Amino acid sequence: MPNYRLTVNGRQQTVDVPAEMPLLWVLRDTLNLKGTKFGCGVGACGACTVHINNEPRRACQTQVSTVNQAVTTIEGLSTDGSHPLQKAWMQVDVPQCGYCQAGQLMTAAALLRRTPRPSDADINSAMSGNVCRCGTYLRIREAIHLAAGNGARRA
C-alpha cells in the first residue's frame, strides 16, 4: 500500500493505506481521531465534515490520495472547547445524542469564516447538508448566532 503525507490539525503524518480509502476512515481507524463521524457513507448527512484548506468537505467522499492541503478536524477546532462555536454549543446546550454535532460545528465554523454575521437564511443555506436526527436545528441556529455575536435569539 502506498504512503500518503497528510497535515492534520497542524501535524504532519504519513499513512500507509490504499489510494481510494476515504479520508474519514484514515482519520478514524488509522490516525485514531474518532471525532469525525460516520453517518451515511454517501455524503448525505454531513456527520463526517472536516475542513480541507479551510473549506468544509465530506471526509467519507474524499479519497486520501486526493488530499494535498491541510486538514482540520473537530479535534483541531480547539482541544479545550474554547472556540466560540464550541462555547456557544455548550452554553445553548445544543446536543441531544450529540453524534452529528462535530460535523455541524465544522460546517458552522466554515460558515462563520466566510460570513461572520450570518442571517437565518445564511445559516439555513450553509447547514442544510448536515442531518440532526434528534432535531436540534433550532439550537444550532441559536448557537451560531451567539458565536457570531448576534446574541441569543430564541423564542
Partner 1 sequence: MKNTKDLTQLNRRSFLQVSALAGGGMMIGLYAPKAIAQGGRGGAAPAATPSTYITINPDNTFTIIAKNPETGQGIRNALPQIIADELDVDWSQVKIQQADLDAKYGSQIEGGSTAIPSNYNTMRQVGAGGRALMLAAAAENWGVPVTELTTASGVVTHAGSRRTATYGSLAAKAATMPVPTNIALKDPKDFKIIGKPLPGVDNLKIVTGQPAFSVDVNPPGMLHAVYEQCPVFGGRPVSANLDEIKKLPGVKHAFIVDRVQIQGGQGQGLVPGVAIVADNWWLASNARKSLKVQWEEGATATQNSPGYATAANAMKAQASQPPAAGGRGSAVLGNVEEAFQGAAKVVEAEYYFPLIAHAPLEPQNSTAHFKDGKLEIWSPSQIPGLAGPAQAAGVQNTDVTMHLVRAGGGFGRRLASEYDYQAAKIARVVADERAAQGLPSVPVKVLWSREDDLAHDNYRPGGFHYFKAGLDASGKMIAFRDFVASVASVSPTGEFPSGFVPNFQVTSAPVNPFSIPTGALRAPSTNGVSFVMQGFIDEVAVASGKDPLQFRIDTLRNPNPPAAPPAGAAPGAAGARGGGGGGGGFNAARAIGVLEAVREMSNWNTARAALPKGTGMGVAFQFAHAGYVAYVVEAAVDSNKKIKINKAWCAVDIGSQIVNTSMAKNLVEGGFIEGMSHVMGWEITIDKGRVQQTNFTNANAALGYPPTRMNQAPPSVEVKFVLTNNNPTGLGEPSLPPAVPAITNAIFAATGVRIRTLPLVKSGYSWT
- DSSP, residue by residue, 18-33: -TT-BHHHIIIIIS--
Which of 130, 145, 146, 147 binds partner 1 (CB under 8 A)? It is 130
Could you say which residues in the range 17-46 bind partner 1, by CB under 8 A?
18, 21-22, 25, 28-30, 32-42, 44-45
Instruction: Decide: residue 31, CB within 10 A, 0-12 exposed, 13-18 middle, 19+ buried.
Output: buried
Please say which residue, 7 or 84, places its beta carbon nearer to partner 1: 84
List the Cα angle 12/16/22 in 5-degree steps: 85
Rounded Cα distance, 138 and 132, in Å: 11
Residues 6+ apart with CB under 8 A from 32: none
50-89 footprint of partner 1 as x/- string (CB under 8 A): -----------------------xxx-xxxxx---xx--x
Please identify, using beta-carbon distances, which residue of 12 and 42 lies nearer to partner 1.
42
Residues at the site binding partner 1, with contacts judged by CB under 8 A: 1, 18, 21-22, 25, 28-30, 32-42, 44-45, 47, 73-75, 77-81, 85-86, 89-91, 93-102, 105, 120, 123-125, 127-141, 154-155
